[in-house]
Structure formats: structure tokens, C-alpha cells
Amino acid sequence: MRWLRGAGSVTTIATGTALAVAVTLVLAGCAPLSTADVAMATPTTSTTTSTSAGLVVTGSGWDASGIQGTVPAPGSCHYRTVPGSANVLPDPRCTSGAVDRAVTQDSLSNTVCRRGGYTAAVRPPLSLTAPMKRALMAAYGIPATDATRYELDHLVELSAGGSSDVRNLWPEPNSDAHRSTRNEYVHNDKDELESRMHDALCRGTMSLTAVQTAMAGDWTSLATQAPAPG
């Protein structure tokens, strides 16, 4: 993976600044976003608060006008390494984690644990996530040509009440420690862990706050805490 130095500032990608963003991306060594990508990645705003653990509390994090939050400047975000592991964590300055205020410990049975599923109802469409993935790849200094090696991940997963706000999204590498078996639903180790977290939440063996806080801080720390589904 190629690391790029950034100015450390944040910027809002908007249609009117497409040229400036494209020039910055070229200088950073990344393919520039198209005007359509820039327009679709334009963030919207919403009222937010914070939990005692510092997580941003929003709504779903998106609406028809776009995904909410401010996109970090190209090259300004850097992965963190996990000692003794091939897995990496996002930059907390760029991806702090954000949760949906509609999901609480008391509402689990009506939200993430409800019969018939939950995440499909709150997941933003590909028309919003595809350009956002490219914008966040640029923020992390990843060339657009490497898109297939990453997935746009919710740091706090939707199935644990995560929001789709920009602060909860990051380009997660699919090249990791390979501790889990791959299939059509599991593309990396975090995917398998998210399934275990959801099972633990709905069985009542882990609290919503514990899962959300650990996933946002260091999701790899949960690997030994949650029992395998069954």
C-alpha cells in the first residue's frame, strides 16, 4: 500500500470545487474524480451529538440528497496498524465512528434484531456509496485503480446500529489476516466478526454500547469476546 502525506485539513467535496479536487488528486498520484463522482459525493448536514465514549450520534446518515458529513482532504487519512496482526484500523481523525440514534438497547427487537431483517432498509443505494467510496479512497491515498481491493465499510456496522454518515465510512482492505473463511457474505475478517456481534447483541450476551464502542475503537479487540454464532 502506498502512503501519502496530506495537509491534515478537511474539505467538503462539492460540484463547484470539482476542478480543485481533481487537481489535488492528480498531485497526490490518484486518478481524479469525475464531475459526476464529485456531485454524488457531496455531503449533506444533520444535527449530531456524541456518546460518552465519543461516538458521533446521528440519524441514518443519509437521505435522497446524499450521504451526510464532510469528506476528508485527499491524502490526509492514514491507516493504523494492529500489533501482531495483518489487520488495519482506520484513521480516527477521519473515521471516528457514528451511530444511529434510532437504535438503542431498548429498541433492538424493533431495529437490528427484528424479524425480516433491518440493514436493507437503512443501507444507502449504490448511486451514493460508489462515488463516496472513490472519494474516501482518495482521502486515504489509495489509487482509484485499486478499488476492487477495498470495500466501503461501516466502521460500526449497520447491524449494530451504525450510521452511514461519512465519519463511519472507510475503505477497508480485503487483504487482511484471513482468520475467517471467505464466501459471498464474508470478504474479510471484519465481515465475519460483524455476524458474531449481531448474534451476541440479539442473544443479549453483549450490550449495544460495548459493541459500538469497541468496533469504533479497535474492532480486532472483539475477536475473542464474542462467541461464534450457533
pLDDT digits (tens, 9 = 90+) for 187-215: 567 888 898 899 999 999 999 999 999 99
The C-alpha atoms of residue 28 and residue 163 are separated, in whole angstroms, by 29
The dihedral built from the CA positions of residue 134, 93, 225 and 113, taken in this order, carries a sign that is negative
Task: Give Cα 137 distance to the centre of its chain.
Answer: 11
pTM score, two decimals?
A: 0.75
CA atoms within 13 A on the CB side of 49: 4
Domain count of the chain? 1
Q: For strand 56-58 and strand 98-100, is the pairing parallel, antiparallel, or unpaired?
A: parallel
Cα dist. 11→1, 8, 68, 82, 191 in Å?
A: 24, 10, 13, 28, 30
pLDDT digits (tens, 9 = 90+) for 60-74: 999 999 999 999 999
pLDDT score of 225: 57
| Largest distance between two CA atoms of the chain | 52
The answer to whether position 6 is within a domain reads no
The cell numbers describing 205, all together, are 450476551
The cell numbers describing 41, all together, are 459525493
User: Could you tell me the pLDDT band of residue 228, with boundaries at 50, 70 and 90?
Assistant: low
CA atoms within 13 A on the CB side of 200: 22
The C-alpha atoms of residue 18 and residue 191 are separated, in whole angstroms, by 33
pLDDT digits (tens, 9 = 90+) for 131-166: 999 999 999 999 999 999 999 999 999 999 999 999
The residue with greater pLDDT, 1 or 165, is 165
pLDDT score of 13: 33
pLDDT score of 188: 67
| 186 has a pLDDT exceeding 80 | no
Sequence-distant contacts of 146-152: CB under 8 A, at least 24 apart: 149/173, 149/174, 149/175, 150/174, 151/187, 151/188
The answer to whether position 210 is within a domain reads yes
The answer to whether position 108 is within a domain reads yes
The dihedral built from the CA positions of residue 9, 218, 152 and 162, taken in this order, carries a sign that is negative
Using a 10 angstrom Cβ sphere, with 0-12 exposed, 13-18 middle and 19 or more buried, the burial of residue 189 is: buried
| 86 has a pLDDT exceeding 50 | yes
The C-alpha atoms of residue 126 and residue 24 are separated, in whole angstroms, by 25
User: Could you tell me the pLDDT band of residue 179, with boundaries at 50, 70 and 90?
Assistant: low
The answer to whether position 1 is within a domain reads no
What domain range includes position 105?
Answer: 15-222
The answer to whether position 5 is within a domain reads no
